[in-house]
A and B are shown apart, each in its own frame.
Chain A
Amino acid sequence: MTAVRVLVGTRKGAFILAGDGKRQRWDVRGPFFAGWEIYHMKGSPADPEQLYASQSSAWFGQVLQRSCDGGRTWEAPGGGPEKSADGMPRGESNKFVYDTTSKTGKPLTTHQWYDGTQHPWEFKRVWHLEPSLSDPDIVYAGVEDAALFRSSDGGTTWQELAGLRGHGTGPQWQPGAGGMCLHTILLDPGDPRRMFAAISAAGAFKTEDAGVTWRPINRGLQSKYIPNPTAEVGHCVHRLALHRARPRVLFMQKHWDVMRSDDAGESWREVSGNLPTDFGFVIDVHAHEPDTIYVVPIKSDSEHYPPGGQLRVYRSRTGGGEWEALTQGLPQRDCYVNVLRDAMAVDSLDQCGVYFGTTGGQVYASADGGDTWSAIVRDLPPVLSVEVQTLP
């Protein structure tokens, strides 16, 4: 009996949408962490019962939550009440401190602020959690201000992979409208030393030594809104995606432009093709067809809603370039929601399911690769992220 579990992070808490294998009946659980912003929630591929959630608040900062039972119960690792004078938990699961030590760290430089001046690095929140493909206790965190952290003890303690923030171009990075966030972490299933990360607005980066050293991979990107449109860094990359069976092929939704790389990010070419607008946030790949990709075009960077008030997913079966609009079951008038960068995911059932959430609180699902859609829920708080687990 297969099933899916859709993990939804919203502005006011987390929700778990439990669906049957046909994806017809849904049980909506939550809100968990009610009233807090849940930027992201994701399960371990190695142990689907182990989930991680990023809980944050402008008032009270960052909290890291973990569940070991598929989301029924949660704990802040190491943050429980004191049990004895000797066994006091350390309470460091939300301690994200930039590594400035001489042995492993890098000097905490400045980055470019909105007005072009330099600004100190300040931790604000965790945008994205990426559990290891093989070890449920290893998890990566992409944070704002942009940096990458790693935990090897189930989220109890975190260490920065300082080679990314400190590799030299940091003073040229700048915040996008949502902040200077590291929002995408892709792990190469074929090579555990290779990872990709993306930062708004700095660009895409790659490591081939398990995160010790990094370099920008932005050749081929053109961004008209920065002084040098083909600069090494400074591009507002919104999202990267890859297919597990073909991890050297990367897809990118940039601020404007949908891009593709066939050489693990060394070079990019535009595949926006016949999209009505190539601005957008999400991009994802079909679970079984590496050349089938999905985007949700948004009108522009100043009008964050679908063109013409018509919510449409666009699918390319050719790895980009040629796109078809998917409309059945989606509102085709008076729809002015946005779909944020972490708010699309696919399941791996035989007939691939596709899911996305909107700032209007709807979570849409398609059980037939995007041909038809229906809303699992319609009235959640604004959706920040959507992930899907396919359960045996």
Chain B
Amino acid sequence: MIRVELPQHLQTLAGVGGEVMLEVPGPATTRSVLDALEARYPVLRGTIRDHDTLERRPFVRVFACARDWSHEPQDSPLPAAVASGAEPLLVVGAIAGG
């Protein structure tokens, strides 16, 4: 199982509290994890990635094992600690405030 931690607004939108646990088929990549996340919570489609292009939204970033994974190719394997569920994949707002 892969753990994903969402920002507060998206937790509320998806109706979840804390981390989300996901079964991800195949290699764990940003794309496969977000595919699984959106399949389980369709309301999140378009909120992290553009609905049409599936590109990451400009004000959203992704971190794995304290490393900014936002600009990695979406099909790059995530760190083993995230793939094993030891560490969560963090989805965060790119800037504070608002």
- Pick the residue among B15, B38, B57, B59 that contacts A91 (CB under 8 A): B38
Known: A58-B59, A60-B60. A80 touches B43 (CB 8 A): yes
- Pick the residue among A63, A92, A97 that contacts B13 (CB under 8 A): A63
- Pick the residue among A34, A36, A94 that contacts B51 (CB under 8 A): A94
A63 to B10, CA, bound (A): 11
Known: A60-B9, A95-B51, A97-B51. A82 touches B39 (CB 8 A): yes
For chain B residues 44-60, which have a beta carbon within 8 Å of chain A? 44-48, 50-52, 57, 59-60
By a CB distance below 8 angstroms, the chain A residues around B60 are: 59-60
Whether A88 pairs with B9 at a CB distance below 8 angstroms is no
Whether B46 pairs with A62 at a CB distance below 8 angstroms is yes
B93 contacts partner chain A, Cβ-Cβ < 8 Å = yes
B98 contacts partner chain A, Cβ-Cβ < 8 Å = yes
A57 to B57, CA, bound (A): 11
For chain B residues 19-73, which have a beta carbon within 8 Å of chain A? 38-48, 50-52, 57, 59-60
- Pick the residue among A35, A79, A97 that contacts B43 (CB under 8 A): A79
A368 to B59, CA, bound (A): 46
By a CB distance below 8 angstroms, the chain B residues around A91 are: 38, 42-46
Whether B9 pairs with A59 at a CB distance below 8 angstroms is yes
Known: A35-B9, A97-B51. A61 touches B43 (CB 8 A): no
- Pick the residue among B9, B44, B45, B51 that contacts A57 (CB under 8 A): B9
Chain A residues in contact with chain B, CB under 8 A?
34-36, 57-63, 76, 78-82, 88-92, 94-97
- New A-B contacts (12) at CB < 8 Å, excluding given A34-B12, A78-B42, A94-B51: A35-B9, A57-B9, A59-B60, A60-B57, A61-B46, A81-B15, A91-B42, A91-B43, A92-B51, A95-B45, A95-B46, A95-B51
